[in-house]
Structure 1
Amino acid sequence: MYKDKFVSVIIAAAGQGKRMNSKVNKQYLKLCNKPVLAHTIDIFEKCSWVDEIIVVTHSNEIEYCKENVIKVYGFKKVIRVIAGGSTRQESVFNGLKSVDKRCSIVMIHDGARPFIREEYILNSIDEAVKYKAVGIGVYVKDTIKVVDEDGYIVNTPDRKFLWAIQTPQTFDYDLLMKAYEKAIKEGFLGTDDTSLVERINQKVKMIMGSYDNIKITTPEDLYIGEAILKSREN
């Protein structure tokens, strides 16, 4: 444990989850009779290296989140539940502005990704102390094709250089804030947090994650998620 490092976790849970075809946002759907978001928070709550958790949710769901997730499951490390923005990037930035002033390492994690294991959290923090910016992911299994606007294949990248990125993504706090402030100033919208850091010429260290660290996105993912949880119990 790094006693001199204050670790904050920002859980992005403000997405609408339109692909789920549900009136309830995907973070609050039940997975083995427990909300997806509760599963996610629980892993970080139990991690001794994590000092605080900030949950960023939709403005209309703040009280719902507090009453039906934070209070029901007794999460003590969740210091704040705050409103997100119109994009994931804006939501995470709101979270960055809300962390404790002592924060030196910050982790960004998807609320709908409830299967991250503690070992990967610890490894991410450890590597972030060394390299300042860390992404976690897995090698792609399929052959990837680059296709032009007319639908013709123009390139087949070597799979050994291709990763599917996951979360948590872990950073030196000051570095990530610098990357976010630059992106906002220049009107850049990235698809993840590492892309913002790449823009300020900071190398991002990739570490191996797990293929079961899936994101709950479609109804089928709930069935897969239940199978993952049951296999872990066994």
Structure 2
Amino acid sequence: MRYWFIVPAAGSGSRFGSERPKQYAPLAGSTVIENTLERLLELDVQALVLAINPDDSYWQSLEISKHPKIRTCAGGAERADSVYLALQSIAGEAQESDWVLVHDVARPCVRVADIRLLIETLAGHPVGGLLATPVSATLKRVGSSQHPAATMMNTAGAVIETVSREHLWAAATPQMFRYGLLVKALQGCRDAGISPTDEAGAIECLGLQAEIIEGHSDNLKITHGADLALAEAILAYQQQHKSGE
């Protein structure tokens, strides 16, 4: 069985608050993207396809860009577009039943052991699944406030209801699906004008179910600048306790 990694990395990271895309932000002596890719490359994969912005001026300056397992392709405007284009770039090599693992470039703290668990658990599955963690926070559904003074308070809105967290899981990555199914799912979404926010969402459009594999909550996705300090602390803890392996 063959495994391919796809890492969409064409986004500008507008919420990150920096001119430099977040994947190139400094982290633990290198950059976010280097930390992420180095973990993925610990696994035995056919190739790792990195979908980057055609105007990316940072990637070629990194030593890891010369790694023989890494290929690049032009990414798209949305995550789903980048993943689709990466899938198309290996169309002449990948087989329908090959596994594709899609991982967020901004998740440098993913544990290699969790990825191995994902691969081993789903090895014989016809569809695939994803790493996720049970939702532990109390969830509130928010709408427009009816309070007359709310517009002056700069609130985010008013609580409509408290949502039960029973059966709710926070999706993470990698998300692992059969090559043929993922191509079909994303093509169907494109034809329908739908832009799924993750691969499991695209698979749902085919009427199929993705399996959940419980991962660790330290698989942080860096979104804001302040997340870098937390990621740095997680990586240091994992290194000390050898829990990133």
TM-score, structure 1 as length reference: 0.89
Number of residue pairs the alignment of both structures matches = 225
Q: Is the 8 A contact 2:35 2:108 kept in 1?
A: yes
Q: Deviations over 1:86-144 (max 9, x none)?
A: 11111110111112623400011111111111111112222333332202111111111
Give the corresponding residue for 2:136: 141
Q: Deviations over 1:29-76 (max 9, x none)?
A: 11012111011110111113x221001111111x631331424xx523
The alignment-based identity, stated in percent, is: 32
Residues 1:118 and 2:109 are matched in the alignment: no
Give the corresponding residue for 2:176: 170
Instruction: Determine the C-alpha separation between the residues in 1 that align with 2:160 and 2:17.
Output: 35
Give the corresponding residue for 1:6: 2
TM-aligned CA distance change 1:148 to 1:218, over 3 Å: closer
Amino acid at match of 1:77: K
| Superposed counterparts of 1:82-121, under 5 Å | 82-99=73-90, 101-103=93-95, 104-121=98-115
Instruction: Determine the C-alpha separation between the residues in 1 that align with 2:144 and 2:205.
Output: 26
Instruction: Determine the C-alpha separation between the residues in 2 that align with 1:206 and 1:75.
Output: 31
Give the corresponding residue for 2:51: 56
Instruction: Determine the C-alpha separation between the residues in 1 that align with 2:113 and 2:224.
Output: 27
Q: CA deviation at 1:219?
A: 1.2
Instruction: Determine the C-alpha separation between the residues in 1 that align with 2:115 and 2:216.
Output: 12
One of 217, 224, 232 as aligned partner of 2:230: 224
Give the corresponding residue for 2:221: 215
Structure number with greater Rg is 2
Q: Is the 8 A contact 2:16 2:224 kept in 1?
A: yes
Give the corresponding residue for 1:75: 67
**Gapped runs of 5+ residues in structure 1?**
none
Q: Deviations over 1:190-212 (max 9, x none)?
A: 11111110111111101111111
Q: Deviations over 1:149-190 (max 9, x none)?
A: 555645433323111111110001111111011111111111
Q: Is the 8 A contact 1:43 1:118 kept in 2?
A: yes
With 149-158 and 189-198 compared, the bigger mean Cα shift is at: 149-158
Cα RMSD after superposing both structures: 1.8
Instruction: Determine the C-alpha separation between the residues in 2 that align with 1:76 and 1:101.
Output: 16
Instruction: Determine the C-alpha separation between the residues in 1 that align with 2:10 and 2:121.
Output: 28
Instruction: Determine the C-alpha separation between the residues in 1 that align with 2:201 and 2:30.
Output: 33
Q: Is the 8 A contact 1:29 1:36 kept in 2?
A: yes
Q: Is the 8 A contact 2:4 2:101 kept in 1?
A: yes
TM-score, structure 2 as length reference: 0.86
Q: Is the 8 A contact 1:35 1:69 kept in 2?
A: no
